[in-house]
Amino acid sequence: MNLAIDIGNTAVKWAAFEGSSMVDQGYGMPEGLLPKADRVLACASGAVANQSLPLLRSDTPLPIHLDYKTPDTLGADRVADACGAWALHRGEDCLVIDAGTCITVDFLDREGTYHGGAIMPGLQMNLRALHTFTAQLPLIELEPGRKAPVLGRSTEESIVAGTLGATLLALAGYVALYRQKCPSLRVLLTGGDAPLLAQGAEAGWEQVPLLSLVGLNGIMEMKNEK
């Protein structure tokens, strides 16, 4: 059994795999499963809760090639997402949108080369910033299914338009730019805030909630493929 763990800034999620099949998953540190696993691999974008965990690092062998100027500073979660895209859609051009504390947009080509991408503030970060750094703007809570108006006719609607709406427009712009060079581009949407974006996302974007865990398992499975 392979045990993949993603330690984020706000949550810890894990999944157990038999080969390429996910057999269990959950949230929080899987202390009871750690001794039972044949292989364990974790990626950490937040604080590491268990320093003894085998972590995905810049020198970890990968099923993809990194074409990135500063691999030592590349977030392990971004690498895991790219490996997940490769595990699910090998041989296709993929754009991975991970909507977490920050939103990352990363490109993996059909040859398995990761080229980097973009980092932007996440939805919650934007909402909290508006509330924290102004005197009168309220803190808005977004729920899945909330649509972003183009024209906000109240303060709350205007905040939703300027956060959720602007984020969706920015992401659609990135997708359009990449599709100019890769018409058959596959777009994968993951991360804790993916459900907030899914309602307004373009048709054809594929939601993969546990993409990073699929990628970590793909890295562990490399030994079986050799």
**Global pTM value:** 0.93
SS3 118: strand
Question: So what's the pLDDT on residue 156?
Answer: 96
What class does CATH assign to 58-225? Answer: alpha beta
Q: Where do the structural domains in the chain lie, given as residue ranges? A: 58-225
The sign of the dihedral angle between the CA atoms of 41, 42, 48, 50 is negative
* Residues carrying an active site annotation: 77
CA atoms within 13 A on the CB side of 19: 2
pLDDT (tens digit, 0 to 9) for every residue of the chain, 226 residues total? 999 999 988 889 999 999 999 999 999 988 889 989 999 999 987 665 556 789 999 899 999 999 999 999 999 999 999 999 999 999 999 999 999 999 999 999 999 999 999 999 999 999 999 999 999 999 999 998 888 999 999 999 999 999 999 999 999 999 999 999 999 999 999 999 999 998 888 888 999 999 999 999 999 998 665 4
User: Per DSSP, which regions of 19-124 are E strands?
Assistant: 21-27, 39-44, 65-66, 94-99, 102-108, 113-121
